Amino acid sequence: MDTTLQDPLVGQVLDGRYRVDARIAVGGMATVYRGLDTRLDRVLALKVMHPALAADGSFVERFIREAKSVARLDHPNVVQVFDQGTDGSYVYLAMEYIAGCTLRDVLRERGALQPRAALDILEPVLAALGAAHRAGFVHRDMKPENVLIGDDGRVKVADFGLVRAVDSVTSTTGAVLGTVSYLAPEQIKQGTADPRVDVYACGVVLYEMLTGGKPHQGDSPAQVLYQHLHEDVPAPSATVPGLPFALDELVAAATARTPDVRPHDAVALLARVREARAALTAQQLDALPSQARSAGHDNAQDRTSVIPRALTVPRPLPVDEDDEAAATGAALHRTSRLEAPAALAARRPGRRPRRLVLTVVAAVLLVLGVGGGVWYINSGQFTKVPPLLAKTETQARARLGKAGLDVKAVEHAYSDTVRRGTVISTDPAAGARIRSHDGVTLTVSDGPETVKVPDLKGRPLGAAQGLLKKAGLEPGMVSRAFSEDVTAGSVISTNPDPGTARHAGSAIALVVSKGRPVDVPDVTGEDLDQAKSDLEDAGLKVTVASEQVNSGFDKGQVARQTPAADGKAAEGETVTLTLSKGPEMVEVPDVTGDSVDDAKKALRDAGFQAEEDRGFLGLFGDTVKKQSVEGGEQAPKGSTIKITIR
């Protein structure tokens, strides 16, 4: 089942221009779709804000203002913003579409990277951020998910503007916007953000590329945030022995907990990166990260979200109000760093919250009395399948279990839009009514299906196109070239080369042979029979154009040929001959008695060349006494008329 069919936006056209074709990803603030600009026939990415945010007028205003600013940020490593608009309740950005993957995909598949690869990715990221910083922007949500790596190897930074368009700290709630694993300490404590928060996040990303794991990990977001505040990012070499000290220094400088110690912006960090690279040997740059740990992680901590700062800043325990103690206990339980509510209650054995006692009594009565009736009525009845799209199999099983449902079976399918290892669809679908304790079939994504390009050299074009389709690929553009060893009409090569892995459905370009090249002889001016003989002797075929043309050649001779003489043609290719019907005859104007200049102009205007014949007697004359073809007679256009001057 195609999950995009469940999305109400897929298939719609925004603003009468942007057709929404498929969902690519769902983030904490927006959903990204692949779309088509129907005016320009251009594939692009459409980022549509979640309805809850689109309903906030001030947010939309800031979003539009920042989108316009980012659209002016012209840098080869920044995903470009083409347009912004609204359509009903939908607020969207039209952006550059990058065919490829994210850095997160690379880390998930490969784990730790070689230092050279890590720096090759980090440098263009810092170049993009540096351009933004110098233009007055702070990204605020740098993470591997926002680093795009195109199929052509280009590295681009995404999500400029969306994060910047929201205040880092919401004054009404004291919340921090960002992704837990990459927040700088000052974002967590004060909610402030300048270019150094991007520097910090890039240091965390570099650590992750070098080691395959994040520096701070925990069972809850609060534990990770606590570590950002109180623990330095460890040296990458502690996880991957043998990594050069220069890389440890680079990570330490970028992730210093005190902002003033860090490079002041991405440009400064880029300079440090290039200095570190220059200090490393080729062997150090290409060392394999054999001891790196797995890149496995909790997807929930990779999403941009609003994080209550109360989770990260412990407050004094209240000493009076029972309700406040209960609330504080719940908050501390969420932090996993201080005492749980049970411990808090144990500290104060003499006082039991009255509301808590009443609530417990009511709950017991409900379970023993009315609750029993409810259990009896609902037993064997229906519940709804919870939404599981993009959840891991483990998360989906847990959510189904919580809903009182079982996993009937787990199936797998390829998907270009749903992340590998997460749920594509369920049967029954989300929201469907199902009997309690019944089973649900999960379909889990195996990621994009990749296909190896087959070797098609020497195959006739039709057969080669059929083999591509059979392999799950699409025949692409066909170009033709000469070949000494491949017969005409058969494939010389493919682009990409045979054995290259490509996503299923990708188009493969074909180069088809025109055959062995031969020199085309010049047969213009020859009689037709002689021209045919010369061309056939060269291995070419001949056809004669039905239309004849006037030319300087006699009637019946070859006036022109296609391909032209002295060019190259494929053996067996056809040369088209156009025969002459002789020169065009034109009436000669009478210029006798005219001045020399007037006579020459009249002849040129009629299509002739003029030649003067002065002799001795005409050296000083200026009147035409005679012309070689009398006025009123016909002569070949372009021929020369001699005028005698006396």
Q: Does residue 364 carry a pLDDT above 80?
A: no
Please list, residue by residue across 102-124, b when 16 or more beta carbons sit within 10 angstroms of its beta carbon and e when fewer do: bbbbbbbeebbbbbebbbebbbb
- Give the Cα-Cα-Cα angle 315, 321, 324 (nearest 5 degrees): 45
* Cβ partners under 8 Å of residue 402, min gap 6: 386
Please list, residue by residue across 384-414, b when 16 or more beta carbons sit within 10 angstroms of its beta carbon and e when fewer do: ebbebbbbbeebbbebbeeeebeeeeeeeeb
**Selecting from 3.40.50.2020, 3.40.50.300, 3.30.10.20, 3.20.20.140, what CATH number does the domain 517-579 have?**
3.30.10.20
Place of tokens 């404590």: 189
Strand partners, 31: 26, 48
The confidence score (pLDDT) of residue 438 equals 86
Residue 167: band (very low, low, confident or very high) from pLDDT cuts 50, 70, 90: very low
* Cβ partners under 8 Å of residue 377, min gap 6: none
Which fold does the domain 100-309 belong to in CATH?
A: Transferase(Phosphotransferase); domain 1 (1.10.510)
Averaged confidence pLDDT in the chain: 81
Give percent of the chain above pLDDT 70: 81
Strand partners, 579: 558
d(CA 133, CA 127): 10
Mean predicted confidence (pLDDT) in 348-352: 39
The confidence score (pLDDT) of residue 303 equals 56
Mean predicted confidence (pLDDT) in 343-365: 38
Q: How many residues does the chain have?
A: 646
Mean predicted confidence (pLDDT) in 620-633: 90
**CATH, range 3-96:** 3.30.200.20
Supply the pTM of this predicted model: 0.48
**CATH, range 380-445:** 3.30.10.20
pLDDT digits (tens, 9 = 90+) for 104-140: 989 998 899 999 999 999 999 999 999 999 888 888 8
Place of tokens 């994009």: 448
Residue 60: band (very low, low, confident or very high) from pLDDT cuts 50, 70, 90: confident
Q: What share of the chain is helix, strand, coil (3-state, %, to 5)?
A: 35, 25, 40
DSSP H helix total and E strand total for the chain: 19, 32
Residue 45: band (very low, low, confident or very high) from pLDDT cuts 50, 70, 90: very high
Q: Does residue 414 carry a pLDDT above 90?
A: no
Select which of 41, 74, 141, 406 is catalytic.
Answer: 141
141 is catalytic: yes
Taking phi first (over 0 means left), then psi (-120 to 50 degrees means alpha), and beta for anything else, what does residue 607 get? left
How many other CB atoms are found less than 10 A from the CB of residue 309? 18
Mean predicted confidence (pLDDT) in 599-608: 93
pLDDT digits (tens, 9 = 90+) for 273-315: 999 999 999 999 988 876 444 444 445 455 555 555 544 444 3
Q: Does residue 624 carry a pLDDT above 50?
A: yes
Domain ranges in the chain are 3-96, 100-309, 314-360, 380-445, 450-513, 517-579, 585-645
d(CA 129, CA 135): 10
Give the SS3 label for residue 560: strand
Worst-scoring range by mean pLDDT, 193-202, 262-271, 523-532, 618-627?
618-627
The confidence score (pLDDT) of residue 417 equals 72
The confidence score (pLDDT) of residue 44 equals 95
Q: Which amino acid is at 258?
A: T
Give the SS3 label for residue 161: coil
Q: How far is CA 272 from CA 46, 61, 103, in A?
A: 36, 38, 22
Worst-scoring range by mean pLDDT, 48-52, 292-296, 327-331, 559-563?
327-331
Strand partners, 626: 644
The answer to whether 130 and 265 are in contact (CB under 8 A) is yes
Mean predicted confidence (pLDDT) in 440-460: 90
Asked if the domains 100-309 and 517-579 are classified in one and the same CATH topology, the answer is no
Q: How far apart are the first and last CA of the chain?
A: 98
Mean predicted confidence (pLDDT) in 478-506: 90
- Give the Cα-Cα-Cα angle 392, 394, 399 (nearest 5 degrees): 95
d(CA 93, CA 161): 10
- Spell out the alpha helix ranges (H) of 336-383: 341-347, 354-368, 370-378
The answer to whether 35 and 83 are in contact (CB under 8 A) is no
Q: What is the separation of C-alpha 169 from the centre of its chain, rounded to a whole number of angstroms?
A: 31
Give percent of the chain above pLDDT 90: 47
Residue 50: band (very low, low, confident or very high) from pLDDT cuts 50, 70, 90: confident
Q: Does residue 339 carry a pLDDT above 90?
A: no
Instruction: Establish how many alpha carbons lie within 13 A of residue 123's alpha carbon, considering only the half-sphere containing its beta carbon.
Output: 14
The answer to whether 93 and 67 are in contact (CB under 8 A) is yes
Q: Which amino acid is at 614?
A: R
Class of domain 585-645: alpha beta
CATH 3.30.10.20, domain 450-513, yes or no: yes
Q: Which amino acid is at 319?
A: V
